[in-house]
Structures are given as C-alpha cells and as structure tokens.
Amino acid sequence: MGIERVELSVHADNGRAIALYEKVGFVREGLARKSFRIDGRYKDAIHMAFFHE
C-alpha cells in the first residue's frame, strides 16, 4: 500500500486508548502541553506513531 508511517494524537489522560495504541505497535513520540481546551481547562496530548517496516 505504500504506507510507512501512521501518526495520531491522543488525550494524555486517556490511559485506555494509550494502552491500546501501544499494544498494536504505536510508540510515543512527544507531548504537547496544553494542546486543547475542554470546559475551560487545558489538557495535554501525546503524539504517537506506527512504523511499517
């Protein structure tokens, strides 16, 4: 298919989603502090990627 890399961002407080992504092979690449705002509160996001070899 030609896809070598897939990227995503997930809310840093969503432990279940992070665990699922890591289980299927995604790795953490970075943290974006105060990446988005919900109900007036800023939240962090974790950037992840999957590499096809």
51: CB partners within 8 A, 6+ apart: 4, 5, 27
- Judge if pTM exceeds 0.75: yes
List, in sequence order, the alpha helices (H) in the chain. Answer: 15-23
- Domain-wise residue ranges, the chain: 5-51
DSSP character at residue 47: E
Task: Show pLDDT as tens, one digit a residue, over the chain (53 residues).
Answer: 688 999 999 999 999 999 999 999 999 999 999 999 999 999 999 999 999 87
Q: How many residues does the chain have?
A: 53
3-state secondary structure of 33: strand
